[in-house]
Amino acid sequence: MFDETLLDSAPSHAPVLRNVHWIIALVVAVAGYFAGNYGLPLLTAAEGKVIVTQSLILAVLLGSWALMLCYVYADAKHFGFSVWAWFLLTLVTYLVGFILYLIYSASKTGNWKRATMPIAYIFEILLVGVLILLPLINYGELPASTLTVSLTAPPPPPPPPPPPAAAPPKVVVHRVTVEDIMKAPTVIPKTIKQIKEEPEPPPQMAAVGVVGGVPGGVPGGSAGGVIGGIIGGVGTAPPPPPPPKAATPKRIRVGGQVESAKLIFQPKPEYPPLAKMARIQGTVRLEAVISKDGTIQDLKVVSGHPLLVKAALEAVQRWRYQPTLLNGEPVEVVTEIDVNFTLAE
């Protein structure tokens, strides 16, 4: 049925599309595939299977376009229609111009099968192509599983054993016996040294005086004097001064025993339209300083997708926290904030 309409337009049943026309369409399709494979990554953020699918779609569209142009040119030339007018119309309007030519040629030749059956085939091919290509375009990738391996450093080697203790020096003790005392000396000394015993000094009393003196006191001071009486009258020493109060730090960091500040106003970030179209989702990690009054100061980006960072910064800049108190005084808090962007299924 198809070859009675499109392929055979002359009374002699000579096919309109010759081998050279099919070769032209094939070359255009291959060129379109490679152009899409190398050009689409420069225009979009897609990669992998999406690029291959889009390149195949581009190749099919360009190959079909070239085949329709070859048919319009050959068929219009055969029947004596306005060749370049219909060629340019099909070149500009693609499938619409081709369908208009089929209807025009059918009305001129009186054979409506040339228009009705090809148009039915075209719509069937379009419907099947949409049903096949739509799942390939909108596909969801499973999240890549990550293998978390914790590497810990080996424990340090044990310290070397302490060196052995040095042996105490041997003290030679010469024991004097009674025989040594009673033994007569063999050498008579020429001089005999006399040992004089000096008398012991009298005991000195500790100075109990006060520099500058005390009214009614004794020169040099005396035990139990005025100062002693005053101290003895009180009975106990004065208490020590209280320890100095520890200074409160101006800024602390969240972690350990320091809990996160409490949010009191948290507007949600707006999902960037470009990131939503590219189906980009993830977490943007920010580092911020929560001031003493609970506002966000010194906001910095730690990690996150570039298309999501701006929306996260604009939202977190408007967050408000309850002031953090330490020892009853408000302090600044350094913390990390995670902003999650998730597409609804």
Please give the single-letter amino acid code of residue 65: W
Residue 192 placed within a domain: no
Residue 108 placed within a domain: yes
* pLDDT at residue 142 greater than cutoff 70: no
* pLDDT at residue 282 greater than cutoff 60: yes
Q: 79 is in which domain, residue-wise?
A: 2-137
* pLDDT at residue 188 greater than cutoff 50: yes
* pLDDT at residue 2 greater than cutoff 80: no
Element (H, E) at 123: helix 113-137
In this prediction, residues 67-86 reach a mean pLDDT of 87
User: Which candidate, 185, 170, 61, 78, places its Cα nearest to that of 125?
Assistant: 61
**Tell me: the pLDDT tens digits for 105-115?**
888 888 888 77
pTM of the model: 0.35
Last residue of a domain, one of 77, 111, 137: 137
Q: What is the pLDDT of residue 4?
A: 46
Q: Beta-carbon neighbour count of residue 51 at 10 Å?
A: 17
**How high does pLDDT run on average in the chain?**
76
* pLDDT at residue 281 greater than cutoff 70: yes
**Tell me: the pLDDT tens digits for 213-237?**
656 666 655 555 555 544 444 455 5
* Exposure string for 227-248, b = 16+ CB within 10 A, e = fewer: eeeeeeeeeeeeeeeeeeeeee
Residue 209 placed within a domain: no
Residue 216 placed within a domain: no
Pairwise CA distance, residues 22 & 5, whole Å: 17
Q: How large a percentage of the chain has pLDDT more than 70?
A: 66
Residue 334 placed within a domain: yes
Q: What is the pLDDT of residue 233?
A: 46
* pLDDT at residue 73 greater than cutoff 70: yes
Last residue of a domain, one of 137, 172, 195: 137
Q: What is the pLDDT of residue 105?
A: 86
Same domain assignment for residues 6 and 133: yes
Last residue of a domain, one of 121, 137, 153: 137
Pairwise CA distance, residues 323 & 296, whole Å: 11
Instruction: Identify the DSSP state of 299.
Output: E
Q: What is the pLDDT of residue 13?
A: 53
* pLDDT at residue 275 greater than cutoff 50: yes
Pairwise CA distance, residues 222 & 226, whole Å: 9
Residue 129 placed within a domain: yes
Residue 195 placed within a domain: no
Residue 285 placed within a domain: yes
Confidence of residue 83 (pLDDT cuts 50, 70, 90): confident
CATH number of domain containing 287: 3.30.2420.10
* Number of domains the chain contains: 2
Pairwise CA distance, residues 251 & 331, whole Å: 6
* pLDDT at residue 248 greater than cutoff 70: no
